[in-house]
Structure 1
Amino acid sequence: MERSIKLIFLAVGFLAGCFGYTHACSCGQWPENGCQSDYSLRGVVLTVRNVNGPFVQEREYLVYVQRYYKAIPRRRRFVRIRSARHSATCGVQLQRGRRYVISGSVDGRRLRTNLCAYTKAWDSIPYWQQQNLYCGPGALDLPLLAPST
């Protein structure tokens, strides 16, 4: 009986130690738009591919940009955006062929996004909120071209 109690305490202590060292994605306040990010755009995901990042496995999206709400210095029609592959490491999962508003950070010349940035499917954003996505003079409408997929 006494041995069973010791084993239970040992197991509970071990599990408590494991949970103490577990890390997961944790965001503060959810953004209302992408204006607090380095960039914000609306575009269609053309391709999705898995890549190995320096610390975590990543997913890279090729996006056809339709509109910049907050522009990067060099506005491009096609951009590659990286995110962690798993939601536990704050990664987003975007579907090929769908239109999104994507916001995030610029790391050198690489665009990144994550669960804590304003990244949503376009058709899930109410009309009144779609009008609140512009972030000032950097916003730019690009002439629409049919993306080749």
Structure 2
Amino acid sequence: MSRSRCVPLLLLVLCGAAEFAEACSCSPEHPQQAYCNADVVIRAKVVGQKEVVTGNDVYGYPIKMIRYDIKQIKMFKGPDGDIDAIFTGPSSALCGVNLESSGQKEYLITGNMDSNGTLRINLCDYIESWESLSLTQKKSLGQRYQMGCDCKVVQCPTIPCSINDPTECLWTDWVLEGTVQGTQAQHYTCIKRSDSSCAWYRGSTPPKREFMDIEDP
């Protein structure tokens, strides 16, 4: 499955401490697809932050990152053991994520581990305040979304649009509702059916083994 990519549109120009870049460009992801693509999915509070140097680039200039110290509340997907810190770029121009670090706000955080086992996040990862998630989204984290990881959610950016494979589900929130946080994102999961094709499922519990058609709660 393809990952949502975070790409600075202008490469860094390094001159002493000066760094220049334009905003990130991201392809939106349905929360199920974000869950499946991520190495780590956790619910956490941010309890501290500081700028750190994580090494040097090929020219010898320091690579700066923001380290967020977190209190993990629950891990839905990831390695054994708690994660106590995440790293992101120092600014939104470098795809950095700005999180509230007072310890009062809970987040759903998705991200990927680097070769050193460090969890890194960027603006293209699915990161939302926990309270903004629908009840269905909260219940889907884990088994329900995992059941859909053999499927692929394909965004419909403009009409007409269609799927090209029976293992795909067409995501139409943007064209029908003008938001990527619409009905399908908040209430539906794309899950493989008994004939190995995939279809949208709406329900508060995982579908039956013989699931064939869309079901309502």
Name the TM-score class by shorter chain.
Answer: 0.5 to 0.7
2:70 to 63, 67, 73: 63
SS at the partner of 2:52? strand
Structure 1: runs of 5+ lacking an equivalent: 1-18, 138-149
Does 2:35 correspond to 1:34?
yes
Matches within 5 A, 1:1-149: 23-32=22-31, 33-54=34-55, 56-72=63-79, 74-76=80-82, 78-96=83-101, 97=103, 98-107=105-114, 108-134=116-142, 135-136=145-146
Percent identity, aligned pairs only, is: 28
CA separation of 1:75/1:88 partners in 2, compared to 1, >3 Å: closer, same or farther? same
CA distance in 2 between partners of 1:88 and 1:27 (Å): 12
Q: Report what 1:15 is aligned to.
A: none
TM-score, with normalisation over the residues of structure 1? 0.68
Deviation at 1:132, TM superposition (A): 1.9
| Structure 1 pair 31–82 and aligned structure 2 pair: CA distance change class (3 A) | farther
The 2-side partners of 1:104 and 1:20 are apart by 23
RMSD: 2.4
Q: Which runs of 5+ in 2 are unaligned?
A: 1-8, 12-20, 58-62, 148-217
Following the alignment from structure 1 to structure 2, what is the Cα–Cα distance between the partners of residues 20 and 48? 27
State the one-letter code of the partner of 2:26: C
Aligned residues: 117
Q: Which SS does the other structure have where 2:140 is aligned?
A: coil
> For 2:67 and 2:140, how far apart are their aligned partners in 1?
27
Give the number of the structure with larger relative contact order, counting CA–CA contacts within 8 Å between residues 6 or more apart.
1
1:122 is aligned with what amino acid?
Answer: W
Scaled by the length of structure 2, the TM-score of the pair is 0.48
Deviation of 1:23 after TM superposition, in Å, equals 4.5
Q: Please report how far the alpha carbon of residue 20 of structure 1 lies from its aligned counterpart in structure 2 after TM superposition.
A: 7.5
Q: CA deviation at 1:29?
A: 3.0
